[in-house]
Amino acid sequence: MNSPATANDAEPGGGIFATTHWSVVLAAQGESTAAQAALETLCRTYWMPLYAFIRREGWPVEEAKDLTQGFFARWLERRDFEAARREKGRLRSYMLASLKHFLANERNRAMTAKRGHGETPISLEEIAEHQRFDLEPVEALTADQIYERQWATAVLDQVLASLDHEYRDSGRGLLFDRLKTLLADEPGHPSQAQIGAELGMTENAVKQAFHRLRLRYREVLREQIAHTVATPAEVEDELRHLIAVLRT
Higher-scoring residue by pLDDT: 132, 237: 237
Q: How many domains does the chain have?
A: 1
Is 7 part of a structural domain of the chain? no
In a domain, 9, yes or no: no
Q: Is the pTM of this model over 0.75?
A: no
- Residue 6 maps to a domain: no
Confirm whether 165 is domain-assigned.
yes
Range of the domain at 215: 18-247
Is-contact 156 5, C-beta < 8 A? no
Burial class of residue 217 in the structure, from the number of CB atoms within 10 Å of its CB (0-12 exposed, 13-18 middle, 19+ buried): buried
State yes or no: pLDDT of 247 exceeds 70: yes
The pLDDT tens digits of the residues spanning 59-93 come to: 888 889 989 988 888 877 776 665 555 555 577 88
pLDDT by residue (tens digit) across 149-207? 999 988 898 899 999 999 999 999 999 999 998 987 767 788 999 999 999 999 999 99
Give a yes or no: residue 3 inside a domain.
no
Residue 59 has what pLDDT?
87
- Confidence grade of residue 22 (pLDDT, cut at 50, 70, 90): low
8 domain residue, yes or no: no
Q: Indicate whether 1 belongs to any domain.
A: no
